[in-house]
Amino acid sequence: MIRLYRPDCPHPAALTSNDYKHHINKAALRDANHDKCMYCECKISHIDFAHVEHIKPKAKDKYPELKFVWDNLGYACPKCNNSKSDKYYEDTPYINPYSEDPEQYLLAYGTYLFSKNGSERGDITIKDLQLNRPELLEKREIKINEFKRAIDACYRTNSQPLREAALAELQKEADTDKELSLFVKSFLRLNAA
């Protein structure tokens, strides 16, 4: 999970007409997230339909008044959205990547996501959204192994300029628009020195 920036609502009339899934607003969230789930950072649209996520649940017994509030909407994959479901805790809210930096609460190490400094919010976000579910661990492992091979190849060359150029290209894979960028950034920080 990385820090995201939700744009202003491009089509507020849709929200006032009780349409929180309007294609223009959904596209704005998709673009703000670089087509990645706001929670697990997996690319979505090339494998599934993304959900417009309610950060605070829209259920009648939860926060129905926030169902059509732009600041309560996000872009999530079905797995994370369904794992979260209608759960929400006022005293330990899930980490909201649109309003805070998840790296204050979470740490990527290897293929696992851990809470940082005993953060209860980090723990509950990881647990309830299943951010260490087996298929995510597998996907992260594939990505990390690819990078391990690429970094090894960089250090096999005797050409310093070639090595530096290759490492600079690898650094781009840690940019926020890339899938699993938190894990790539963490791996590169530990292994590309």
Tell the burial category of 188 from Cβ atoms under 10 Å away from its Cβ (0-12, 13-18, 19+): middle
Closest to 38 measured CA to CA, from 87, 76, 85? 76
Asked if 95 and 88 touch (Cβ cutoff 8 Å), the reply is no
Tell the burial category of 117 from Cβ atoms under 10 Å away from its Cβ (0-12, 13-18, 19+): exposed
pLDDT band at 134 (very low <50, low <70, confident <90, very high): very high
Element (H, E) at 53: strand 51-54
**pTM of the complete model beyond 0.75:** yes
- Encode pLDDT of 54-95 as tens digits: 999 999 889 999 999 999 999 999 999 999 999 999 999 999
- Encode pLDDT of 138-187 as tens digits: 999 999 998 888 888 888 888 888 888 888 888 888 899 999 999 999 98
Asked if 24 and 10 touch (Cβ cutoff 8 Å), the reply is yes
